[in-house]
Amino acid sequence: MRRRRLTIAALSALLVLGGAGTAATLPAADAGPAVAGGPAAAVSRRPASDGVVTAMQRDLGLTRKQAEARIAAERAAAALAPRARRAAGTAYAGSWFDAARGRLTVALTPDASADSRRTLRAYGAQIRTAAHTARQLDAVKARLDRLSAPPGVSGWHVDPVAGAVVVDVVRRDRSDNDVRRFLTQARAAGAVSVRTVSAAPRTFAAGTVGGDPYYTGNVRCSIGFSVYGGFVTAGHCGQPGAGVSGWDGSYVGSFQGSSFPDNDYAWVSVGSGWWTVPVVLGWGTVSDQLVRGSAVAPVGSSVCRSGSTSHWHCGTVLALDETVNYSQGAVHEVTKTSVCAEPGDSGGSFISGDQAQGVTSGGWGNCTSGGETWFQPVNEILNRYGLTLHTYTG
């Protein structure tokens, strides 16, 4: 029933808005140019759907007017971020979206030129002084990535707000000898700050439960985003060659590529009467959302997630390019969020406004008490497999 509702809603939207939905998947060769690191389509100037606005009101405590204003400000910040980095040059120390002021903040080291500062102010960015450049902090994180982390260390990332590499340690394990040894090595690598978190991360796959987006074996996961020829999802959900069935038990396709740990991404081919549409499912809680691109949302931006267990929830981007340490091994270059998730949500969609962000990897907590969740950025998956995101461009 859910899949049928998605298909009808998606095709209706495409037809009403002048699209050309078809009953068969287009081959990659017919899909236009492949994504090469940037957004799959220009950032839309259209307002977000009512579903996204409603979810942001619920999960972020905003009024409708505040939610709409924030979406517009975040869209502007996402477009400005790469220009700001170029203007800052070697003095660049990171950037993030300041929700309170509705603007992008750019950190600069004290040796930043007067021209760089003037240019950034002319762009409308706020400027903050930092001790370490982004390049220096990236180098510190790279040193930590070469270490072997014990289970009590849940992950680490460059935090431009803190001006350091933040290492997260599970509260119950902070006195563990292996954790303390890791932190000693981490601090020796450079600018490191330690934060205590409530629980260790885990992946969000689950055993078979009826009425879900797809199965592989006895594992249930969630579809991420449609690409021409199939969809992207989490790597821990299946190995290359594994068959996939849909909500109704019919054969969908198979895993064509998969990586986990180190990465957590995969793509599944689609055939046998199934087709792809540029839609994120609202699960009846919110309206289904058309996908128009994949512009990266800066730290501090709002982001929403759709998954087959906990459905639709929103939060904010907490960190980019984090290394998260699961029991199965470390996964690199994921994005941390304050959005909750639960088993079965793995592989599901993270979207900011109408821009695809990534596929659900794992996290800690649940959607009753709260928690944090990581996603693998969608642009990395597209580039890795040479895929093209299926977007609506009307």
218 falls within a domain: yes
51 falls within a domain: yes
336 falls within a domain: yes
Q: Let me know if 50 is a catalytic residue.
A: no
121 falls within a domain: no
Phi-psi group of 318: left, alpha or beta (phi > 0 → left; psi -120 to 50 → alpha; rest → beta): alpha
Q: What's the pLDDT tens digit per position in 307-323?
A: 999 999 999 999 999 99
Q: What's the pLDDT tens digit per position in 47-80?
A: 567 778 888 998 999 999 999 999 999 999 999 9
Report how many domains make up the chain. Answer: 1
Cα torsion 320, 70, 7, 220 to 10°: value is 40
Percentage of the chain lying above the pLDDT 70 cut: 85
Q: With 50 as the cut, is the pLDDT of residue 28 above it?
A: no
116 falls within a domain: no
Q: What pLDDT sits at residue 38?
A: 35
Determine which one of 154, 259, 346, 361 is catalytic.
Answer: 346
Q: What's the pLDDT tens digit per position in 223-275?
A: 999 999 999 999 999 999 999 998 778 898 999 999 999 999 999 998 877 88
CATH of the domain at 293: 2.40.10.120
134 falls within a domain: no
Q: Let me know if 264 is a catalytic residue.
A: yes
Determine which one of 264, 288, 345, 354 is catalytic.
Answer: 264
The pTM for the full model equals 0.77
Determine which one of 44, 59, 157, 236 is catalytic.
Answer: 236
Give the other-Cβ count within 10 Å of 9's Cβ: 17
Q: What's the pLDDT tens digit per position in 92-132?
A: 999 999 999 999 999 999 999 999 999 999 999 999 999 99
Query: Domain range spanning residue 308?
Result: 1-79+153-394
Q: With 70 as the cut, is the pLDDT of residue 133 above it?
A: yes
User: If DSSP codes are grouped into helix, strand and coil, which group holds residue 345?
Assistant: coil
Q: Let me know if 176 is a catalytic residue.
A: no
User: Strand 103-108 relative to strand 126-129: parallel, antiparallel, unpaired?
Assistant: parallel
